[in-house]
């Protein structure tokens, strides 16, 4: 079938018009309206913009990635423009359904007109590719992964077995090995296809836990979305907070929940996960420029196996969108098929989207491009270039020869990115105060070091850090600092209980609960094999493993002949990534504000390939076919270990929230119906707006479900006499100290003896 220009435009215009009618009439029979609106919102704008820009010479998947990215940019900035313009015409609720539909219809008409003018001729030939029976099976299997992820999470939410999720994890590992084994017989486009569905399924195992919004940052993100959605207006001055400056969690979900006609929380729990799954596909094409498709696939598989990807990213929706744009920025920087001018246009679009989507991702991007720009200037100096060329070994000449005559990064691009960052954070949203305080803290820690300087527990996973954090010492330091702040320097505070009372209820860390040993675990223990210690060591060694092979891989790129040449810009980006990781380790105050594991996950967009190349290089004595298979087997074991599959075969290890209704993350972040009922009761009965105190599990829940700004003070010495105290009785209390989450003994005995129990539903107590 061959489609001409008129056919293509007529089709897209008709689909867009039908979607608008369904949205305005709120017609969503069997979810057809949602599906149609999803496709039109996330595809049609990007298609039209790509036609206007005349983006060509890319594969179907690469075009699709740019289309999705451009569509999300369109939704964010289109919603922002409506938010700014409509109030000027007396419309004070610009983000209602009607305003959004009509506003985006106007945008779409303009895009259609410009796209028609810019498109001279378009011919689309639709032909189903010929696939072997084996390939067809490999195409069908990934479709079941998201289904297993959804059903597995639902089953565990209903207090059922985790067998479906375990089957999913085992199937993903086995399927990935099949792609490695049959790599010579399958089409290249099967890899991005598989990556998309594997990533989506992995994210669903976390995002769909609980029937409510569940997680650390996501609950606070959802609160700021509610502020925007309830007022039908995004107002950065309504609540000065860095979260409120992120369009990715304010305007974007407001637009999506109205246009897609779905319950708002499923934008966070489902739609964002589908979008973030495309980020992994971007990394595949980024890596594919420099290696074979199978090694690019294994690079992405390592990225998706890292616990931050499937445990934390579903709880960091603003960062998911930020990472998606971050990946697109890197991709267009290194994309050889498009012209330099086109790449710079796309870079500007996606870099601006990073700025308005997530502040930390923007700062990392700024640091990386500045690092590359400065080093490129230095290397480009004639005398440095001469020395550089003479010192390089022969295999490295291929890298040297690919150094572009017209380097991508230019001063105007950097000025644009810096200006956009400054204007957005300092002028428009006034949300940069936190960044300034972080910078001051970092500088102070450098010039005035102190034993009390804080650091994140993430540093224990760094090969550059040998210091270990003492939980008892850290907890007591935190309690004392909180007491001093509460007492304002006085010996006794009349609003809190006396030391004679609180000293009877000491606070101390307690060990996390463990899974009961399985028959296999019990048998191994009977042989005096320390199952728990081995599992713990395997987790730590996995982090060291990835860091170690980054360096081995970069050395392999320099000294071993590669099938595809590496350009110097990619290598400089890798060295910049390593520099940032070392900097965060040497400046622990940075790790408190932006965890090292989250930083590492972001930089794996660049460093995943060196890990695979480094791992492959140590098997240099093995033939290439077997070497790739060995790397695939190691990747599968790595995935099974870090996702909790192996630990659940033996038991005797910490529970995982994706697999269990227990454990640290479950106690801290899982939301039960009883929690919501208790919070609603408190919101209705705290008419005098008394102080409310809660532990880490309750702070964000109180804000999201009761719009209550609670104090994170649940230690006996700092509990106020006149305050309500919200306490979940089903677990010990969890506290977050400098991003280190730890468990300490419950304050329930103190509260039972010294406060009145005014509400209880068996799972949650409220004291007064």
Say if CB 135 and CB 186 are below 8 A apart. Answer: yes
What is the structure's pLDDT at 400? 43
In angstroms, rounded to a whole number, what is the distance separating the alpha carbons of residues 248 and 73?
10
Say if CB 642 and CB 542 are below 8 A apart. Answer: yes
What is the structure's pLDDT at 8? 85
> Among the three residues 107, 125, 143, which one is the final residue of a domain in this structure?
125
Please name every residue paired with 742 in a beta bridge, in sequence order, or none if there are none: 735
Provide the token pair at 39. Answer: 């496709």
In angstroms, rounded to a whole number, what is the distance separating the alpha carbons of residues 197 and 274?
9
What is the structure's pLDDT at 729? 75
Residue with the bigger pLDDT between 464 and 180: it is 180
In angstroms, rounded to a whole number, what is the distance separating the alpha carbons of residues 626 and 675?
53
| Domain annotation covers residue 36 | yes
| Domain annotation covers residue 54 | yes
Residue 396 has pLDDT above 60, yes or no: no
| Beta-carbon count within 10 A of 382 CB | 7
718's CB contacts (< 8 A; 6+ apart) are 479, 482, 483, 486, 496
DSSP 8-state code for residue 694: E
Residues of the domain holding 749: 672-767
User: 124-163 in b/e burial notation, b at 16+ Cβ within 10 A?
Assistant: eeeeeeeeeeebeebbebbebbbebbbbbbeebeeeeebe
What is the structure's pLDDT at 488? 41
Q: Name residue, tokens 């089957």.
A: 167
The C-alpha torsion from 138 through 143 and 148 to 154, rounded to 10°, is 170
Most confident of 12-16, 80-84, 121-125, 467-471: 80-84
Say if CB 744 and CB 510 are below 8 A apart. Answer: yes
DSSP 8-state code for residue 467: -
| Domain annotation covers residue 68 | yes
What is the structure's pLDDT at 624? 85
Residue 661 has pLDDT above 60, yes or no: yes
User: 245-280 in b/e burial notation, b at 16+ Cβ within 10 A?
Assistant: bbbbbbbbbbbbbbbbbbebbbbbbbbbbbbbbbbb
Number of domains forming the structure of the chain: 2
| Domain annotation covers residue 682 | yes
| Domain annotation covers residue 496 | no
Say if CB 176 and CB 230 are below 8 A apart. Answer: no
What is the structure's pLDDT at 239? 81
Q: Is the Cα dihedral 489, 492, 493, 496 positive or negative?
A: positive
Helices (H), 54-143: 60-85, 97-118, 133-140
**588, 599, 591: which is closest to 543 by C-alpha?**
599
For the stretch 466-517, pLDDT in tens is 455 677 777 777 777 777 665 544 456 778 888 889 889 988 888 888 899 9
Query: Across all residues in the chain, what is the average pLDDT?
Result: 87
Residue with the bigger pLDDT between 467 and 413: it is 413
Please name every residue paired with 726 in a beta bridge, in sequence order, or none if there are none: 694, 766
Residue 54 has pLDDT above 60, yes or no: yes
| Domain annotation covers residue 528 | no
What is the structure's pLDDT at 320? 97
Measure CA 577 to chain center.
Answer: 17
Helix (H, G, I), strand (E, B) or coil at 209: coil
Expressed in angstroms, the distance from the first to the final Cα of the chain is: 72
For the stretch 553-607, pLDDT in tens is 888 887 766 666 677 889 899 999 999 988 887 776 676 667 788 889 999 999 9
| Domain annotation covers residue 383 | no
| Domain annotation covers residue 177 | no
Distances (CA, A) of 354 to 421, 488, 604: 9, 41, 17
What is the structure's pLDDT at 764? 92
What is the structure's pLDDT at 452? 47
> Among the three residues 125, 156, 184, which one is the final residue of a domain in this structure?
125
Calculate what percentage of the chain has a pLDDT beyond 70.
87
> Among the three residues 125, 149, 176, which one is the final residue of a domain in this structure?
125
Provide the token pair at 288. Answer: 């594919």
The burial of 438, by beta-carbon neighbours within 10 Å (0-12 exposed, 13-18 middle, 19 or more buried), is given as middle
258's CB contacts (< 8 A; 6+ apart) are 23, 95, 96, 97, 100, 101
Q: What's the Rg (C-alpha) of the chain?
A: 27
**266, 242, 303: which is closest to 28 by C-alpha?**
266
């Amino acid at each position: 079938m061959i489609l001409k220009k008129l056919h293509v435009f007529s089709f897209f215009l008709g689909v867009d018009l039908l979607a608008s009618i369904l949205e305005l009439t709120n017609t969503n029979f069997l979810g057809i309206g949602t599906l149609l609106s999803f496709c039109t919102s996330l595809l049609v704008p990007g298609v039209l913009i790509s036609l206007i820009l005349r983006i060509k010479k890319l594969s179907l998947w690469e075009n699709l990635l740019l289309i999705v990215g451009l569509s999300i940019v369109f939704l964010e900035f289109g919603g922002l423009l409506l938010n700014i313009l409509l109030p000027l015409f007396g419309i004070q609720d610009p983000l209602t359904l009607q305003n959004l539909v009509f506003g985006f219809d106007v945008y779409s008409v303009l895009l259609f007109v410009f796209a028609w003018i810019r498109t001279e001729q378009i011919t689309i030939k639709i032909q189903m590719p010929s696939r072997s029976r084996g390939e067809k099976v490999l195409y069908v299997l990934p479709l079941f992964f998201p289904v297993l992820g959804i059903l597995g999470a639902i089953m565990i939410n209903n207090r059922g077995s985790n067998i479906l999720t375990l089957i999913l994890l085992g199937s993903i590992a086995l399927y990935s090995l099949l792609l490695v084994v049959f790599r010579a017989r399958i089409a290249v486009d099967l890899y991005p296809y598989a990556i998309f569905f594997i990533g989506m399924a992995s994210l669903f195992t976390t995002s769909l836990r609980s029937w409510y919004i569940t997680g650390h940052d996501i609950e606070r993100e959802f609160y700021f979305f509610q502020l925007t959605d309830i007022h039908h207006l995004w107002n950065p001055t309504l609540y000065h907070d860095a979260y409120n400056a992120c369009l990715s969690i304010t305007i974007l979900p407001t637009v999506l929940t109205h246009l897609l006609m779905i319950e708002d929380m499923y934008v966070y729990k489902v739609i964002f996960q589908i979008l973030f799954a495309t980020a992994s596909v971007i990394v595949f094409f980024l890596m594919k420029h420099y290696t074979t498709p199978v090694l690019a696939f294994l690079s992405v598989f390592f990225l998706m196996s890292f616990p931050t990807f499937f445990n934390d990213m579903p709880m960091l929706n603003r960062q998911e969108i930020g990472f998606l744009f971050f990946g697109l920025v890197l991709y267009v920087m290194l994309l050889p098929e498009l012209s330099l001018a086109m790449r710079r246009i796309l870079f500007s679009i996606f870099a601006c989207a990073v700025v308005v989507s997530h502040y930390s991702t923007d700062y990392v991007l700024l640091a990386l491009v500045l690092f590359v720009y400065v080093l490129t200037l230095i290397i480009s100096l004639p005398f440095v270039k001469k020395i550089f060329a003479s010192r390089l070994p022969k295999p490295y000449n291929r890298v040297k020869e690919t150094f572009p005559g017209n380097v991508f990064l230019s001063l105007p691009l950097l000025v644009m990115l810096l200006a956009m960052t400054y204007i957005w954070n300092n002028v428009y949203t006034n949300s940069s105060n936190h960044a300034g305080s972080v910078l001051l803290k970092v500088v102070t820690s450098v010039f005035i070091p102190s034993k009390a300087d804080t650091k994140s527990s993430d540093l224990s996973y760094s090969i550059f850090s040998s210091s270990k954090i003492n939980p008892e010492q850290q907890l007591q330091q935190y309690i004392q600092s909180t007491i001093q702040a509460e007492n304002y320097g006085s010996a006794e505070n009349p609003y809190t209980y006396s030391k004679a009372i609180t000293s009877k209820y000491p606070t101390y860390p307690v060990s996390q609960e463990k899974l009961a040993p399985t028959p296999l675990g019990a048998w191994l223990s009977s042989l005096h094999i320390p199952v728990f210690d081995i599992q713990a060591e395997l987790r730590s060694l996995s982090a060291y493993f990835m860091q170690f092979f980054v360096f081995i891989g970069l050395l392999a790129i320099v000294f071993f002949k590669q099938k595809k040449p590496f350009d110097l810009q990619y290598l400089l980006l890798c060295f910049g990534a390593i520099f940032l990781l070392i900097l965060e380790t040497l400046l622990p105050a940075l790790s408190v504000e932006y965890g090292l594991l989250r930083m590492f996950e972001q930089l794996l967009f660049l460093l995943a390939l060196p890990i695979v190349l480094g791992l492959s290089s140590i098997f240099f004595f093995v033939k290439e076919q077997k070497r790739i298979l060995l790397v695939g087997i190691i990747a599968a074991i790595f995935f099974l270990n870090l996702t909790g599959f192996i630990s659940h075969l033996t038991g005797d290890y910490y529970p995982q929230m994706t697999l269990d209704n227990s454990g640290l993350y479950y106690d801290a972040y899982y939301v039960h119906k009883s929690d919501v009922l208790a919070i609603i009761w408190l919101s209705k009965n705290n008419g005098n707006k008394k102080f409310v105190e809660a532990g880490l599990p309750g702070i964000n829940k109180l804000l999201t479900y009761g719009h209550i700004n609670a104090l994170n003070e649940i230690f006996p010495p700092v509990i106020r006499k006149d305050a309500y105290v919200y306490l979940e009785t089903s677990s010990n209390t969890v506290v977050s100290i400098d991003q280190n989450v730890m468990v300490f003994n419950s304050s329930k005995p103190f509260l039972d003896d010294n406060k009145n129990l005014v509400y209880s539903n068996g799972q949650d107590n409220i004291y007064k």
